[in-house]
Copies of this chain bind each other. A is one copy, B any other.
Amino acid sequence: MKKITIANIPGDGIGKEVVPAATEVLNTIAAIHGGLKFEFTEFPWSCEYYLEHNQMMPDDGMERLQDFDGIFLGAVGNIKLVPDHVSLWGLLIKIRREFEQVINIRPAKVMKGVKSPLANAKDFDLIIVRENSEGEYSEIGGKIYRGEDELAIQNAVFSRKGTERAMQHAFHLASKRKKRVTSATKSNGITYSMPFWDSVFEDVSKGHPEISTDSQHIDALSAFFVTHPERFDVIVASNLFGDILSDLGAGIMGSIGIAPSANINVNGKYPSMFEPVHGSAPDIVGKGIANPIGQIWTAKMMLDHFGEEELGNTLLDVIESVTGDGFLTADLGGKHSTKEVTDEIINELKKID
């Protein structure tokens, strides 16, 4: 029996609704497999936890997570309770950084039965590889003066190691796909970090002559996501650009509610973390209408990560057959509840067994 231990952190808002749904799906899949078992342990760390403890996780929080095989996160943040930069840097970004989850992978594709807002959404199927540990999200910066002379400075920090690592990962993924990597840059406007990014991309490209490459400025690239998303295969981007492109990717798919992501620890020292792209959506909490697909597709990425790619692909096929059959939550223009969509996915999975 292959046992995989998972730390569940539902977090805030709809995270608490979709994590249980996806956990049920994972248990179903383990049962189908027969020789696979997930062991889930839940941690209640969230903005509500913060109100009680004045921190997003206990002092020994990271130690307690350390020995799990993976972390399955819902959503973090509720500005009505805790400022975003406190909740996110105290939990989500803290885990990404301290567990050296230096790569963030975010696919976007046309999904059966899901209406893209694009009129001519050709069959796009792309993956964004986001550098997840440095770049524009640095902890270096500050302010000087108060009043009319006040000035804030933020350093974007790009190391060759961090940049190369993200790019190598992108080339690796592309070698198993359409063999095409696009680099998101802005070297015409941002004149130190981005020309550096370009030069590392050039170096890394040379090591992969079988992969075709191009560079696009982030402004033009964002527009291309709207006009020609089918042109792309793997896109490698800095922390900020990857953040923007992955929400755009979710947007052109039809809803942020379906987009998954994986935060990968590549050196094997710490667990990786799996979380949907969407946030905690406080406005729809408790209504039972949150889209579970972002979290369930995220479970598929977790299956892939643990070497169960066949099951992962089966799960994605089932998700698409269910959306294709019209089981859609409100964000996709449907009327089905979180539970109805989840149950249908579980039913379809059981049929395969």
- Whether, in the assembled complex, A287 has its beta carbon less than 8 Å from a beta carbon of chain B, the answer is no
Query: A77 at the A/B interface (Cβ < 8 Å)?
Result: yes
A306 within 8 Å of B (CB atoms): no
B161 contacts A191, C-beta separation under 8 Å: no
On whether the beta carbons of B227 and A247 are closer than 8 Å, the reply is: no
**A151 close to B (CB within 8 Å):** yes
Which of A142, A149, A188 has the largest count of B CB atoms less than 10 A from its CB? A188
Candidates B137, B151, B219; contact of A159 at CB < 8 Å: B151
Contacts of A197 in B (CB 8 A): 152
Distance between Cα atoms of A152 and B201 in the complex (Å) = 14
- B residues near A156, Cβ cutoff 8 Å: 136, 153-156
Q: Which residue of B lies closest to A224 (CB)?
A: B251
Contacts of A77 in B (CB 8 A): 188
Q: Does A42 sit at the interface, judged by CB under 8 A?
A: no
Which of these, B154, B220, B246, B247, contacts A193 with CB under 8 Å?
B154
Binds B, one of A53-61, A83-91, A170-178, A321-329: A83-91
Q: Are B157 and A188 in contact (CB under 8 A)?
A: no
A220 surroundings in chain B (CB, below 8 A): 247, 256, 279
Judged by a CB distance under 8 angstroms, whether A223 is at the interface is: yes
User: Which B residues touch A143, using CB under 8 A?
Assistant: 192, 196
Within 8 Å CB of A115, what residues of B?
A: 119
Query: Contact between B192 and A219 (Cβ–Cβ < 8 Å)?
Result: no
A107-135 interface bits toward B, Cβ cutoff 8 Å, 1 = contact, 0 = none: 00000000111111000000000000000
Q: State how many angstroms separate the Cβ of A188 from the closest Cβ of chain B.
A: 4
- Quick one: closest B residue to A189, CB to CB? B137
Contact between chains at A157 and B148 (CB < 8 Å):
no
8 Å CB contacts to B: which residues of A228-251?
239-240, 243-244, 246-248, 250-251
Contact between B226 and A244, CB atoms less than 8 A apart:
no
Contact partners of A169 in chain B: CB under 8 A: none
Q: Is A190 an interface residue (CB 8 A)?
A: yes
Is A148 a contact partner of B120 (Cβ separation < 8 A)? Answer: no
Q: How far apart are the CA atoms of A89 and B186 in the complex, in Å?
A: 13
Which chain A residues in 63-109 approach chain B with CB under 8 Å? 77, 84-85, 88-89, 93
Say whether A189 contacts B153, CB under 8 Å: no
Q: Is the CB of A191 within 8 A of B141?
A: yes
**Interface residues in A184-234 (C-beta closer than 8 Å to B):** 186-197, 218-220, 222-227
Residue from A154, A193, A194, A218 with most neighbouring chain B CB atoms (10 Å): A154
CB of A169, distance to nearest CB on chain B (Å) = 17
Q: Could you say which residues of chain B place their CB within 8 Å of the CB of A190?
A: 136-137, 154, 240
Which residues does A use to contact B, with CB under 8 Å? Answer: 77, 84-85, 88-89, 93, 115-120, 136-137, 139, 141-143, 147-161, 186-197, 218-220, 222-227, 239-240, 243-244, 246-248, 250-252, 256, 279
A117-B226, A222-B247 are known; give 19 further A-B pairs, CB within 8 A. A89-B191, A116-B119, A117-B227, A136-B136, A136-B190, A149-B161, A150-B196, A151-B157, A152-B192, A153-B193, A154-B190, A154-B192, A155-B156, A186-B243, A219-B247, A220-B247, A222-B248, A222-B251, A223-B251
